[in-house]
């Protein structure tokens, strides 16, 4: 992976390159930012540059032995940790079990998302995570001497998915790192990482992709009319994965499925169709927990967009990030989301998400959410 492969973030790239040249690289770095901005690829490009034997002014050489191995993601001093699932009772839920799939996942695109990784693993009902067994692997790998490069580098993707046992062991490694070891954590939700880890890492915030850079990148790669590119850039809100979904018009995307479910759910809730709400809760309970969490996050996004549309309809083209289907629905629906119920609705959906994440009884959680949503939608605006 090269810095040049990743759209934008030029100031951050120069900061990372400068740190390497000045030999001022922290032993624990946290790349934090939203989905679809290229931060995982940026971490890999940084690791490759750090290990490159013939660095150019602004990137890795691409031809040395180290770079050639990095491009295949097989360098012996590069290690990965990422969320996994446990498919079999006898299976050890560690990253190495999925390393072949992981390399394919990384090689297929510069931009990576958690949901795409779940599909790559073929997860259904299990929640993906970084478990205690992984921490044993981390300790074992980082205590080895480096094979070829000056540094051993471990990239931990989605450390917010670590359970408390794994987090505490990682903290110990950060506090007492083995010599010539660099840990790069890549997160989309730093608030879910334990504070003691956050306080011991160098934070590098990776923002959304700039609109102009997104526009230029899409225009260079796809043959699309200018007005359509501008609409995609606005709707994707700096998320290249979202932009690609819109470009490819992917009928199987989870957002399309979530939209259909959200729209029908809200119609049934407002109409107080109890039997349909019970049926919905049962259907949701049968889906996988990651699917359930994904829907709840999507619903929170759509509630926010509808509230903004309600209070500021004149600015909808500037502040809303809705697809055509979502916008058509929201034009009629937004009047039911207002200042008298938005905070309660947001709280209920957040609570449901937290209960699902803690392995609560999902059928009861969704039925409770459905009935509370029905009540809150009936609250009148002042």
Contact call for residues 292 and 257 (beta carbons, < 8 A):
no
Nearest to 323 by CA among 215, 264, 216, 250: 250
How many residues are present in the chain? 382
Provide mean pLDDT across the span 207-228: 89
Q: Which pLDDT score, from 0 to 100, does residue 226 have? A: 86
Q: Which pLDDT score, from 0 to 100, does residue 230 have? A: 86
pLDDT over threshold 80, residue 320: no
Looking at per-residue pLDDT, the higher value among 183 and 173 belongs to: 183
* CA–CA dist 269, 146 (Å, integer): 59
- Pick from 76-80, 136-140, 337-341: least confident: 136-140
pLDDT over threshold 80, residue 324: no
Provide mean pLDDT across the span 8-14: 93
Q: Which pLDDT score, from 0 to 100, does residue 176 have? A: 85
Highest mean pLDDT among 33-37, 312-316, 359-363: 33-37
Q: What is the b/e burial string over 277-294, where b = at least 16 CB atoms within 10 angstroms of the residue's CB?
A: bbebbeebeebbbbbbbb
Contact call for residues 304 and 237 (beta carbons, < 8 A):
no
Nearest to 214 by CA among 248, 247, 250: 247
Q: Which pLDDT score, from 0 to 100, does residue 124 have? A: 56
Contact call for residues 154 and 184 (beta carbons, < 8 A):
yes
How is residue 7 annotated by DSSP?
-
pLDDT over threshold 90, residue 278: yes
Q: Which pLDDT score, from 0 to 100, does residue 318 have? A: 55
Strand locations in 110-243, DSSP E? 152-157, 181-187, 202-205
- The per-residue pLDDT for range 94-118, each reduced to its tens digit, is 999 899 999 999 998 899 998 889 8
Q: Do domains 3-205 and 253-377 have the same CATH topology?
A: no
Q: What is the mean pLDDT of the chain?
A: 88
For the question of whether the overall pTM of this predicted structure is more than 0.75, the answer is yes
Which band of pLDDT confidence, cut at 50, 70 and 90, is reported for residue 232? confident
Two tokens at 342?
């938005």
Highest mean pLDDT among 107-121, 122-136, 199-213, 228-242: 199-213
pLDDT over threshold 50, residue 252: no
Question: What percent of the chain is modeled with pLDDT above 70?
Answer: 94
pLDDT over threshold 60, residue 298: yes
Highest mean pLDDT among 103-107, 220-224, 289-293: 103-107
Contact call for residues 159 and 185 (beta carbons, < 8 A):
yes
Two tokens at 114?
């958690």
Provide mean pLDDT across the span 283-297: 87
Q: Does domain 253-377 have CATH number 3.30.70?
A: no
**Residue-by-residue DSSP string for 298-355:** HHHHHHHHHHHHHH-GGGHHHH----HHHHHHHHHHGGG--TTTHHHHHHHHHHHHHH
Q: CATH number of the domain at 3-205, out of 3.40.50.2000, 3.40.50.300, 3.30.930.20, 2.40.30.20? A: 3.40.50.300
pLDDT over threshold 80, residue 131: yes
Question: What percent of the chain is modeled with pLDDT above 90?
Answer: 53
Contact call for residues 280 and 352 (beta carbons, < 8 A):
no
Provide mean pLDDT across the span 48-60: 93
Looking at per-residue pLDDT, the higher value among 124 and 212 belongs to: 212
All residues at 6 or more sequence positions from 314 whose CB lies less than 8 Å from its CB, including other chains: none
Looking at per-residue pLDDT, the higher value among 321 and 198 belongs to: 198
Beta-bridge mates of residue 184: 29, 155
pLDDT over threshold 60, residue 90: no
**Residue-by-residue DSSP string for 39-102:** HHHHHHHHHHHHH-SS--SSS--S-SHHHHHHHTT--TTEEEE--B---STT----GGGGHHHH
pLDDT over threshold 50, residue 251: no
Beta-bridge mates of residue 202: 29
- Pick from 262-266, 308-312, 352-356: least confident: 308-312
* CA–CA dist 2, 6 (Å, integer): 7
The domain ranges of the chain are 3-205, 211-250, 253-377
Q: Which pLDDT score, from 0 to 100, does residue 314 have? A: 66
């Amino acid at each position: 992976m090269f810095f040049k492969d990743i759209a934008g973030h030029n100031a951050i790239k120069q900061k990372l390159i400068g740190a390497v040249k000045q030999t001022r690289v922290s032993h624990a770095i946290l790349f934090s930012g939203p989905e679809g901005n290229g931060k995982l690829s940026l971490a890999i490009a940084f690791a490759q540059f750090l290990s490159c034997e013939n660095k150019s002014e602004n990137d890795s050489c691409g031809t040395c032995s180290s770079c050639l191995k990095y491009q295949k993601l097989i360098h012996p001093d590069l290690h990965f940790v990422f969320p996994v699932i446990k498919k079999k009772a006898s299976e050890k839920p560690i990253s190495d079990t999925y390393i072949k799939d992981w390399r394919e996942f990384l090689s297929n695109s510069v931009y990576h998302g958690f949901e795409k990784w779940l599909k790559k693993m073929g997860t259904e009902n299990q929640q993906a995570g970084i478990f205690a067994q992984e921490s044993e692997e981390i300790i074992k790998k980082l205590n080895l001497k480096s094979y070829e490069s000056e540094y051993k580098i471990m990239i931990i993707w989605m450390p917010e998915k670590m359970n408390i046992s794994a987090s505490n062991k990682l903290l110990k490694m950060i506090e007492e790192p083995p010599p010539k070891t660099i840990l790069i954590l890549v997160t989309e939700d730093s608030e879910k990482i334990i504070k003691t880890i956050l306080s011991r890492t160098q934070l590098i915030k990776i923002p959304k992709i700039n609109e102009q850079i997104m526009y230029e990148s899409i225009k260079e790669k796809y043959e699309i009319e200018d007005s359509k590119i501008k609409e995609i850039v606005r709707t994707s809100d700096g998320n290249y994965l979202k932009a690609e979904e819109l470009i490819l018009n992917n009928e199987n995307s989870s957002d399309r499925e979530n939209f259909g479910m959200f729209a029908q759910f809200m119609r049934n809730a407002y109409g107080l169709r109890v039997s349909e709400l019970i049926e919905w809760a049962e259907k949701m309970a049968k889906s996988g927990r990651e699917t359930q969490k994904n829907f709840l996050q999507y619903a929170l996004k759509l509630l926010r967009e509808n509230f903004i549309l309600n209070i500021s309809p004149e600015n909808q083209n500037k502040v809303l990030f809705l697809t055509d289907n979502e916008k058509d629905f929201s034009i009629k629906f937004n009047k039911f989301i207002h200042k008298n119920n938005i905070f309660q609705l947001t709280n209920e959906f957040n609570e449901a998400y937290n209960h699902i994440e803690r392995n609560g009884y999902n059928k009861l959680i969704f039925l409770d959410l459905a009935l509370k949503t029905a009540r809150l939608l009936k609250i009148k605006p002042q």
